[in-house]
Chain A
Amino acid sequence: MAATLFFWLCAFLAFFFGLGVIVARNPMHSALSLVMTFVASAGLFLLLHAEFLAWILIIVYSGAVMVLMIFVISLLNLQRDEPIEFTAARRWGVAFVVVFAAALLIYLFRDASVGFTYPPKPAISAEWGSAKAIATDLFTRYLLPFELASVLLTAAVIGAVVIARKPDPNEINGMESTGEEPSNQ
């Protein structure tokens, strides 16, 4: 009973704020709606017995990724109420997405005429979804993808450092000698 209520609450919030992400005119409201969508999705994860994942979702996505996003939005001097032009390409794009989404929904819910048929719930152990169970999986069965992901992240960090670093003074001198205008950096 309580679980059902909780499910509908989270599902409604996720849907409502998910809509808010694309409908809101103000990019800040849009980003905050995304934060709330993550939080509501974390609630759904909780119902699935995946407590660890739920909190990781909140800490990493709502807490870290979105804070950076909002940081950037607040630093951009945004023009409010920018009118949206409906060009032909955009119209076709919208039409395509609507048709595709409708087809997907019809495919997913084609059993709905005979009532929803949920697959039988597999029995899960009490450990399931805990940090221990996830860590065991990550470091045994999925070790290679896990390590590959970490290599990818390291590459991304190095890339970020290269982009953000101050230019080498020698490099600028070299550019000054060839270029016409001396750069101030």
Chain B
Amino acid sequence: MTELSLAIYAAVRIGVIFSAVMTVVAFLPWIERKLIGRFQQRFGPYRVGPHGILQPIADSIKLVFKEDIIPNNADRVLFVLAPTLALITAVMNLAVIPFGPTFELFGISFGAVQVADVNVGILYIFGFASLGVYSLFLAGWSSGNKYSLLGGLRSSAQMFSYELSLGLSVVTVLMAVGDFKLSEIVLSQEGGFWNWWIVSPKWFVIPGLLGFFLLLVSAFAETNRLPFDLPEAETELVAGYHTEYSSMKFAMFFMAEYINMIVASSIVTTLFLGGWHAPLPYEPFVLAPGWMWFAAKVFVLLFLFIWVRATLPRFRYDQLMNFGWKFMLPLALFNIFLAACCLLLADRFAL
């Protein structure tokens, strides 16, 4: 294959994945508002289009035409840079997620539904996640507003604390697979849900369940979702780091948050829920294309995100820090130890 055709294939993959995810991102706020409406015994958006389906379009038109305000106290360069950075770091993560196996369009094979299968795989996502911390922090700092600064400080301290347990919870799966590559991690979970790392008998179930729990909780904290949305706690901080943002800059933070939710759900799916593999390796299940299974699992997790938001109250800040450092981190370290022991035992008895 020539370099040009490789570039074209890559461009097609980027186009397909990007537009698909952006469509989901556009309608995710509507889904969220609808669901939260149901959780709270009301209808949710209902006026614009049937069942309010056109609400996202109305909202985005409103946001585009709003006045774009930059406060006098703001550090102008960083104020503009922060939302851009938020969106870029979120979108870059989509590049390595394995959405599905090889797909064909008009009889031409375009390779896996994944923009780039990089060697460092999961580290790539951690790298961009750690750069994403800057966007929230800079937004808070550059606004020149006390509430924004507090929100920014909280967000960076929180993401920093939970990044540790996030990274350590992933280590268990990496130990079992022996590779950073996300495609390899998906392939290692072939053949039915009992081979997914969440319940895999290869390490006697427990490290998988614990790791899944740790990863999920850390993912909630990393995406600043309830019950971990301290950076934008409206009862204390107005709106936290995005208090001063309006118009498209605000919309960019909003989009970044939803993309991060999708990325977090995709990581959990890839690592613990078998990626694009069907839950049962038999005839009716394997007929559906892999990306559909992936999307189904991601939507279940997104539903969980929204469900938790509608159900749980917010943590207090000291509770958040104590939980992160005194519960999650030791548990994650213990889980690595446990997983290593289980893997050695399983190896010994050739399971």
Q: How far is the CA of A18 from the CA of B248 in the complex (A)?
A: 31
- How far, in Å, is A65 (CB) from chain B's closest CB? 10
Do residues B120 and A51 form an inter-chain contact, with CB atoms below 8 A?
yes
**Count of chain B residues with Cβ under 8 Å from any Cβ of A?**
26
Contacting B at CB under 8 A, from A51-73, are: 51-52, 54-56, 58-59, 62-64, 67-68, 70-71
Q: Which of A51, A63, A71 contacts B118 (CB 8 A)?
A: A51
Q: How far is the CA of A131 from the CA of B120 in the complex (A)?
A: 8
Do residues B137 and A55 form an inter-chain contact, with CB atoms below 8 A?
no
Q: How far is the CA of A39 from the CA of B120 in the complex (A)?
A: 16
Closest A-chain residue to B180, C-beta based? A131
Do residues A63 and B133 form an inter-chain contact, with CB atoms below 8 A?
yes
Do residues B130 and A63 form an inter-chain contact, with CB atoms below 8 A?
yes
Tell me which residues across on chain A come within 8 A of B78, comparing CB atoms.
28-29, 32
| Bitwise interface map of B from 116 to 143 toward A, beta carbon under 8 Å scored 1, else 0 | 0011100110110111011001100100
Do residues B149 and A58 form an inter-chain contact, with CB atoms below 8 A?
no
Q: Which of B127, B141, B156 contacts A67 (CB 8 A)?
A: B156
Q: Which of B131, B156, B160, B180 contacts A58 (CB 8 A)?
A: B131
| Bitwise interface map of A from 72 to 88 toward B, beta carbon under 8 Å scored 1, else 0 | 00110000000000000
Q: How far is the CA of A62 from the CA of B137 in the complex (A)?
A: 14
Do residues B156 and A71 form an inter-chain contact, with CB atoms below 8 A?
yes
Contacting B at CB under 8 A, from A78-135, are: 130-131
A70 and B130 in contact (CB under 8 A), knowing A59-B123, A64-B160, A130-B119? no
Tell me which residues across on chain B come within 8 A of A32, comparing CB atoms.
78, 134, 138
Tell me which residues across on chain A come within 8 A of B152, comparing CB atoms.
74
A35 within 8 A of B: yes
Give the dominant DSSP class at B's interface.
Answer: helix
Do residues B130 and A51 form an inter-chain contact, with CB atoms below 8 A?
no
Do residues A59 and B130 form an inter-chain contact, with CB atoms below 8 A?
yes
Tell me which residues across on chain B come within 8 A of A71, comparing CB atoms.
137, 153, 156-157
Tell me which residues across on chain A come within 8 A of B123, comparing CB atoms.
52, 55-56, 59
Q: How far is the CA of A75 from the CA of B127 in the complex (A)?
A: 25
A52 and B120 in contact (CB under 8 A), knowing A39-B131, A59-B126, A62-B130? yes
Closest A-chain residue to B133, C-beta based? A67
- How far, in Å, is B135 (CB) from chain A's closest CB? 12
Do residues A58 and B118 form an inter-chain contact, with CB atoms below 8 A?
no
Q: How far is the CA of A71 from the CA of B134 in the complex (A)?
A: 10
Tell me which residues across on chain B come within 8 A of A59, comparing CB atoms.
123, 126-127, 130
Do residues A63 and B137 form an inter-chain contact, with CB atoms below 8 A?
no
Tell me which residues across on chain B come within 8 A of A35, comparing CB atoms.
134
- How far, in Å, is B269 (CB) from chain A's closest CB? 22
A28 and B119 in contact (CB under 8 A), knowing A62-B130, A63-B127, A71-B153? no
Q: How far is the CA of A28 from the CA of B78 in the complex (A)?
A: 10
Q: How far is the CA of A55 from the CA of B123 in the complex (A)?
A: 7
Q: Which of A56, A62, A130 contacts B131 (CB 8 A)?
A: A62
A51 and B119 in contact (CB under 8 A), knowing A59-B130, A63-B127, A74-B149? yes
Do residues A67 and B160 form an inter-chain contact, with CB atoms below 8 A?
yes
Do residues A70 and B137 form an inter-chain contact, with CB atoms below 8 A?
yes
Q: How far is the CA of A131 from the CA of B75 in the complex (A)?
A: 40
Do residues B120 and A67 form an inter-chain contact, with CB atoms below 8 A?
no
| Bitwise interface map of B from 227 to 254 toward A, beta carbon under 8 Å scored 1, else 0 | 0000000000000000000000000000
Tell me which residues across on chain A come within 8 A of B119, comparing CB atoms.
51-52, 130
Q: How far is the CA of A54 from the CA of B118 in the complex (A)?
A: 13
Provide a sorted-by-A list of 13 A–B residue pairs whose CB atoms are within 8 angstroms: A29-B77, A51-B120, A52-B119, A55-B127, A59-B127, A63-B129, A64-B130, A67-B160, A74-B137, A75-B153, A130-B119, A131-B120, A131-B180
